[in-house]
Structures are given as C-alpha cells and as structure tokens.
Structure 1
Amino acid sequence: MLDNLINLVREQAGDAIINNPTVPNERNEEVISATGQSIAGGLQDVISSGGLKDVLKLFGGQEAPSGNNPVVQNLSGNVIQQLMNKFGFDQQAANGIAGNLVPNVLQKLVSKTNDPGDNSFDIQGIFNQLSGGRSEGVNIQGLLGKVTQGGLDKDGDGDTDLQDVMAMFSGGQGGGNLLDSVKGFFSR
C-alpha cells in the first residue's frame, strides 16, 4: 500500500512539489516519499486514536477530503511537521505543499478505493496495513457500508463511536474473538 500511496503522491505532486521553486529539484523524490509516508502514518494515528469513524466516513464518501475535514487537517499537520523537520521548509512553504497536495491525494485515494475497476487500492488491504494486520477478520467493507447508511449508531446516542462498533460485533453478548480483534484494532 505504501508504494502505491507514494506513487499517488507523485502523480499529484505537480505544482505542490515538482514545479515548486521552494523544493530543490534534486529533493523532489525525497519530499514525495516523505509526504506519502506521513499520510500513511497519519491515517494510522487517526485510526489508533479513535478516529475510525472519521476515516470510514471519508472513504465512504460521507465526508469530502477538503481542508475542512478533520482527517485531512490531521494529515496535513503531519505532512507540515515532516516537511519542516526533515527538509527545513518554513511554515508557509510547508503549509502550501500540504494544503495543495493532501486533499488531492486523499480524493484520489478514496476514488481509487471505491472504483471496482481499479485494484491499486482496496479498503480491506489499506486497513490491514494501517492496523498492522489487527483488522484481519473485521469486515471493513461491511463497516464502511454501515457508516454510509448511518447504521453504526447501535446505542442510539446520536453518534458513532467505539461503543457502537463494539456493540455491533458483540451482539450485546459481551465479547468473543471478533470483539477482541476489534479492540486490538483500536489500540497500538
């Protein structure tokens, strides 16, 4: 997945990196690679810190991958920090790169993931990779379907959170291997 994500960043890197006078040409590939790694790491951090619902909404098309989306903001922040720390870009330059690139990359990633004719990304593979294999046995496509249909609010409190996901898998019975798998998916 990481190689495909870096290739996706490369495809979108035109004005943000390749044609950007702030980025020395000899460092283009390093910046592209670091950006892809930062996006992947950021997605992993969002999921492990309880943001699974937000990521599922993004991939399910309920939330647009715009600069106002909390997942995009989080990932952009990661990219900005990485660019500043690793390459010495100032805040304005790093903001320009991330602001131009992250929403476009996520839009393409979501589009490719949801395109049955494109097998470069698949939602189950992405989540397996991001969770370090802990999402095996969890039907991510099924979760995505529940999010897009609004069917994850199992406790009726108006939001979808970890309690709802746990209730869905335990069936109210308090556990089992699948529930343990979901709990492990949310922790690092």
Structure 2
Amino acid sequence: MLDELFNLIKQNGQQAVVENNEVPNEHNEAVMQEAQSSIVDGLSNIKEPDQVNSLFESVQNGQAESNPAVQQISNNFTGNIMQKFGINGSTAASIASAIIPVVLAKMANRGGQGGAGGLDLGGLLGSLTGGRFGGGNLGGSSTSSGGGLGGNLGSMGAKLGLDKDGDGDVDLNDLTKMFK
C-alpha cells in the first residue's frame, strides 16, 4: 500500500518537484519520500472518528486545504523539506500545497469508488490505525483493533514475523522499528 502511495505522490509531484528549479535534482526522490512520510505520519496521528469524517468530507468537497489534519501534514512536510534539503519557505509551501491535498483527494475519490484503481484513503487509514478507522466504517464509530483492513493486515503481518514491537499487530510502530 505504501508503494502505491509513493507512486501517487510521484505522479502528482512531477511538476511541483522534478520540474522545479528550486529543488536540486539529487533531492527530487527524497522530497517525494518526505511527502509520503508526512502523509503516513499525519494520518497515523488521527485519533478520533470525527477527525476522520472531517478529513473525508473536506477532501471530497475540494476543501482539503482548510482541514486541520491536512494543514498539519502540509506544515510538517514544508518544515521537513526546508530543514533537510534547504528549500526556501515559499517554494516548500508551494510544493506542499501542490502534493498533499491533491494526493489525499485522489485517495479519497478512489475510496469512494470502492478502492477502484488501488489505494484509497479509508484503506490507508485502516491499515495505519490498526482498523480503528477506515475500511468504509466512517460513520463516527470505530471498529475493533482486530477488524477491518488494518486488523487483517496486522494479524497477517504478525504471523509473518513483522510484529517488531511484540504487541500482536503490525502497525507504524513496527515499521519505524524495522528501519532503526
């Protein structure tokens, strides 16, 4: 699923990153990887069903930029690429606004079509939150940690030895332990 997210970022980051003279060519892929990390981190920090519903509504209504979660993801991404790659503030903000809300909107639209074409925002949220949110259950209630797409992926991953923190599921915490 993360590969699909990165491909979506690459498709939408071509003009904002690759064709941008303010971004040194040697940093193009790293900037797009930073976008992926910012999206994954931001979505995994969503704790309440109301935040999920608000995110979906604003993204699907074309108002993603006004959503606090999207703003937080964009701000984190902007700060990270400024610090890591020396990109100036206005360029970094421009790159963030060209990638983050657009990618989230495309993910949400795919989810509205039953995930047609691959990645959907609900599926990604479900996998990042251990099934608490996503997988079509966005009416304000949450699923148990063992249910939904995230629960299924987590339990399969645990059986494959991917449960690096030993908590019985595979989640973002395990992913970060894999790369330390």
State the shift of 1:14 in Å.
2.5
Whether the aligned pair in 2 keeps the contact of 1:18 and 1:28 (CA below 8 Å) is yes
SS in 2 for 1:38: helix
**Structure 1: tracts of 5 or more residues without a match:** 147-151, 153-164, 170-177, 182-187
Match of 2:137 among 138, 143, 146: 143
Shift of 1:29: 1.1
Per-residue deviation, 1:128: 3.4
Q: 1:75 touches 1:102 (CA, 8 Å); kept in 2?
A: yes
Equivalent residue runs for 1:81-160 within 5 Å? 81-116=79-114, 118-122=116-120, 125-131=123-129, 134-135=130-131, 140-144=134-138, 146=139, 152=140
Pick closer, same or farther for the CA change 1:102–1:122 going to 2, 3 Å. closer
CA distance, structure 1, for counterparts of residue 77 and residue 111 of structure 2: 22
Q: Structure 1 residue 77: deviation in Å?
A: 0.9
Q: Count residues in correspondence.
A: 147
- 1:26/1:63 Cα in 2 relative to 1: closer, same or farther (>3 Å)? same
CA RMSD of aligned residues (A): 2.9
Deviation at 1:56, TM superposition (A): 2.9
SS at 2:137 equivalent: helix
Counterpart of 1:67 in structure 2: which amino acid?
A: E
SS of residue paired to 1:67: helix
Contact preservation (8 Å) 1:76, 1:98: yes
Q: Structure 1 CA distance, aligned partners of 2:126 and 2:53?
A: 14
Task: Tell me the TM-score normalised to structure 2 length.
Answer: 0.68
**Equivalent-residue separation in structure 2 for 1:143 and 1:16 (angstroms):** 33
The 3-state SS of whatever aligns with 1:56 is: helix
Change (3 A) 1:29 1:63: same
Q: Give the Å deviation of 1:117.
A: 6.4
Which residue of structure 2 aligns with residue 157 of structure 1? none
Q: Pick the structure with greater CA Rg.
A: 1
Give the equivalent residue in structure 1 for 2:67: 69
| Cα distance per residue 1:94-133 (max 9 Å; x no partner) | 11111222111111111122223614124563133212xx
Q: Structure with the greater relative contact order (CA < 8 A, sep ≥ 6): 1 or 2? A: 1
CA 1:42–1:21: 2 relative to 1, 3 Å: same
